[in-house]
Amino acid sequence: MPELHTVLAFLAASALITVAPGPDNLMVLSQSLSRGRNAGIGLAVGCALGCLTHTLWATLGVSAVVASSPTLFTVLKLAGSAYLLWLGIGALGSRGPRLADGIRQHPPEPWGRYLRRGFVANAINPKVALFFLAFMPQFVDPSTGAASLQMIVLGTVFVLQTIVIFGLFALLAARVGALLSRRPGVGRWLDRITGLVFIGLAARLALESRH
């Protein structure tokens, strides 16, 4: 098991990374604004669980294979970009929320659908895989002979703090979105903004290099 001071240092570094602007928190914020609290929290939890897969990839050496294979990196990158593009086009085609008594009412969607979206978007992003491959070993002591266990513990810490921080982002953005959507036409524009965010993230991922 990693020592307490190592876990605390890892937690502090992870929190700073999670708060910094990036694809995942932009997705959580934009989706929460346009679709509400449940959608945002579902996406937040999905993105966090996607980080757990990257922990396993780094532990098992899969991330190292991705780092050394330009072809595999490109395939994963394009798959992730296509998925984000599909989400963006779907948001652009939305008619916006219905309003009843001034309250936003989207057609109901299962909470798990947003969780899956966040999970897939994160799990197939090769840049996240490479980040975990470079970041996590800095907090692992291989001399203990339990490096894999340390990686799993630290990965779990990363997931939990991500759920907390992204969950707070989702709650705040959903509150702002609920206030904005009471104005006629604003809800539809929130969906348009969400679509543009997803499309922008798709383009950014498509143009990413391994370095």
pLDDT in tens, 102-142: 444 555 567 788 999 899 988 888 888 888 888 888 888 77
The per-residue DSSP string of 97-151 comes to: -EEETTEEEPPP--HHHHHHHHHHHHHT-HHHHHHHHHHGGGG--GGGS-HHHHH
Does residue 20 lie in a domain region? Answer: no
Q: Give me the residue label for tokens 């509150």.
A: 175
Does 25 score more than 90 pLDDT?
no
d(C-alpha 109, C-alpha 91), whole Å: 14
* First vs last C-alpha separation in the chain: 31
Does residue 16 lie in a domain region? Answer: no
pLDDT in tens, 30-70: 888 888 888 889 999 999 999 988 888 888 777 677 667 78
State how many domains the chain has. Answer: 1
Does residue 33 lie in a domain region? Answer: yes
DSSP tag of 175: H
Q: Give me the residue label for tokens 């947003």.
A: 114
Does residue 62 lie in a domain region? Answer: yes
Domain interval for residue 109: 25-206
Does residue 11 lie in a domain region? Answer: no
DSSP tag of 22: -
Does residue 114 lie in a domain region? Answer: yes
d(C-alpha 68, C-alpha 71), whole Å: 9
pLDDT in tens, 174-207: 888 878 767 656 666 777 777 787 788 778 777 7
Q: Tell me if 205 sits within 8 A of 81, measured CB to CB.
A: yes
Does residue 160 lie in a domain region? Answer: yes
